[in-house]
Structure 1
């Protein structure tokens, strides 16, 4: 079981490196890692389990955050605005298209690998189309918008050595870009 002790923190070199492509077919070891990553996200959102193991709540986790420099990520978002849950385990994900329109979370973003607050708006694409492979090696292509799109961009950034706070305007951290959409 992954706990907070397994999550590397800001400043660790793995978080700034570009992760390696995962070889297909996906190995048993990589599938196990993806299952453990998704289990962590579910556990972190379960109040009882999170309290018992001291887990910070998360909706996404990239393999580099557990010091595995491979292009793998897991996302678990309960009940979006339409009452849907999103549960993903993606291998070698990439953004193949995106909207011109930008979006941001009004409270900024957080990260399981960043313990301190990094206040400011993080502008991302409002819509993205992701191509990847699922945990069984089946090609995956889907368009996301709003909050799920923001979460996926955050996690894909981890695969490329980019941290969310790299996007914060240091001169005016809370100034929204013109025409950017606030996502709640």
Structure 2
């Protein structure tokens, strides 16, 4: 089981390296890793389990964050009812060898900025990213898929894609004015 102890510190060199493509068929260690990455995200969003194992809540986890330089990330996004209770997963899967095919010229950013399981501090500011993306990835069987996403889901995927390229979310923040509101930036 992955816990916060498995995360490398923010200044670890692997977080600034380009991850290697995953070869198929997957070996048993990679299958186990993928399962544990998704399990971590599910557990981190469960109040009881996150408290028991002292997990920080997350919606995405890339392999470099736990010291493995492979192009793998897991996503677990839930839909919530009007009372804030989780209802069903919007997306809950592991993706291998993801690649952006195209993206919009229009950018978006989360109104409260972004956070990261690898960064144990608050880094304020807008993180502008393309509002819409089209990307491909392989599933655990090696089958290729193409997804088109927008807004929050697109931002989450791009955050994890950046980890595979050695880019941290705060690299996108305007250093001189972190909360600068570009009129062309959509705030979500």
TM-score range, shorter chain: over 0.9
Alignment of 1:13-162 (within 5 A): 13-79=13-79, 85-162=90-167
**1:118-153: per-residue Cα shift (whole Å, max 9, x none)?**
111000010111101011211111101110100000
CA contact (8 A) 2:76 2:89 kept: no
**1:44-89: per-residue Cα shift (whole Å, max 9, x none)?**
00000000000000000000001010000000000079x7521121
Structure 1 counterpart of 2:174: 169
Number of residue pairs matched by the alignment: 183
- RMSD, aligned α-carbons: 1.5
Shift of the 32–144 alpha-carbon distance from structure 1 to 2, 3 Å rule, reads same
Task: Tell me the SS of whatever aligns to 2:40.
Answer: helix
How far residue 178 of structure 1 moved from its aligned partner, in angstroms, is 2.3
Relative to its length, the structure with more strand (as a share) is 2
Where do 4+ consecutive residues of structure 1 move more than 6 Å? none
User: Which whole-Å CA distance do the structure 1 matches of 2:128 and 2:103 have between them?
Assistant: 13
**1:149-171: per-residue Cα shift (whole Å, max 9, x none)?**
00000000000000000000011
TM-score (norm 2): 0.94
User: Which whole-Å CA distance do the structure 2 matches of 1:37 and 1:144 have between them?
Assistant: 22
Deviates more, 1:134-143 or 1:110-119: 134-143
CA contact (8 A) 2:131 2:155 kept: yes
